[in-house]
Structure 1
Amino acid sequence: MNEIAERYRRRAAAFEDKIAAVRPEQWADPSPCARWTARDVVRHIVDMHDVMLRPLGLALSPAPSVDDDPLAAFRAARADVQAILDDPARAGQQCDTPAGRVTAERNIDQVISDDLPLHGWDLARATSQDDTIHPEDVERGWAAMGALPPGLLEKFRTPGAFAPGVEVFGPEVKVGADASPQDRLLAFIGRDPGWKA
């Protein structure tokens, strides 16, 4: 089994379950991401799946829009990315990314796969679902944050550093010394772990 492919499969399944549990009237509810509704969180995730395909000269397959059917839009995008990860030749293809030249599977693992648990928290919190992040994802996320070079961390916290309107992390939120690992991770990337709609 390919560890990266399986990690993405697990995370994408968890995110899909959260989309499926959203009630129709909740899609316009605010999320912990400033200026984003619950629907916008899913839109971002679907858009980032498309970003993962571009370095390979690919685009998302035709599918309903997030406005029309968020669940169908995500399922289609998920299938496109999983197909790359399940194909050793495509998964190992080198591509140019903002982080340098890496394999397609590494780009997917470090970007959209790592985003799924965090934005899953956003969607869960926006729609009153269980917002527990898998402990393995919390541990991996915290390790990744600790390994970021200071210059890159500063860029992540600078709105528009990667593209107009793109903000990767917000300012770090202060939490108590007794905060859980999940809350510490969320606070580090600029989320208020106590946020409520």
Structure 2
Amino acid sequence: MRRAGQHILIIPEGWCEYNYAQALKHSLPRDKQRSISVEMPKPNNENSAFQLLYKAEIMIKKARRDKNPYDAVWIFFDNDNQPNLAGFFQKLSNTPVQIAYSCMCIEHWFIIHFENNRQAYQNAHQALQRIETLWQNIFNQPYHKTKINHFEKLNENLATAMERANTITLQAEADETPVANRNPFFTIQNFIQFFQSL
């Protein structure tokens, strides 16, 4: 018997990505939400890209064995100085897994909702300082990594952020910069577009 909707798996790196993915899921009609699973591998922020991909591969195999295969699998993570990112992207290319990715960190994705910021942040702390300033100025409240519904707060500027992310991506592709070396770089806009197409 054919399933009512697409069977989708999302594996986030940390709680910020988990909360964002859950909010994106809950923005969909209720009947589409049922077939989307957001699975944290373990309750911490130390999940490497390789560990997320390994978890995805295990869950893909299990779903196939259970005769309920996934139509799409996403891992949601950022660079934040991940080890051997070039090796990760090489391995990823041989899998059906897609990525919702931000370099250097998800906070840079949040920043481009407010400004056309193409800074090559060297670490997550630099981007965090910028979003804290913007968040306080725009929302008149402190930024918090996990206690805010970022998707909901930023939704009004989502189309602008996606357009900026696409422009940054096209520039990196035109420069033929290897994916692992692109900074800034985003694929979160592809993740959003996927959800909008459901």
TM-score (norm 2): 0.30
Higher helix share: 1
